[in-house]
Structure 1
Amino acid sequence: MEYAFYAEQTYLLKEGCVRARVLPAQEAEALGYEDGYTVQKPEGKVYVDGFDSEAAARYHLEGLTDCRIMN
């Protein structure tokens, strides 16, 4: 994997918010994620961004409007 951590952001269309979590590289890889990955799911659009540290991923997510970090 290119990065040590990945931020998974799901934009929940019906609720009007973002549900997010930080994943270690191994877990992200198991889900087929990579930096820049996007997919449309029934609950909303999923975006994945890679980061060198967990702190950097969390900082990114904390800057999103109406974002709930789940872990």
Structure 2
Amino acid sequence: IGVWYPDHSCQRLVWNERGQLLEEQLPNGGIKRYRYDDIGRKISQEDEHGALTQFEWDDVGRLVQVVLPSGDTR
């Protein structure tokens, strides 16, 4: 699916069969990517500069840690 803006730039969105956003092509040409585990939880997102953020979940589906591109956690 694409979204066209008045300045003729376009944002393209790609979803998988589960309705999860996999890729977002930005109007400036950058691409953001998203990955999910087998049960649908987001496990990583990569921004248009290649910076990777990772998400860690416990066995009952609670988000327990976010690992930022710098390696810092929260």
Q: For the superposition of Structure 1 and Structure 2, which TM-score range results when normalised by the shorter chain?
A: under 0.3
TM (normalized to structure 1)? 0.26
Instruction: Give the number of the structure whose residues are more often helix, by fraction.
Output: 1
Q: Which of structures 1 and 2 has the bigger CA Rg?
A: 2
Q: TM-score, normalised by structure 2?
A: 0.25
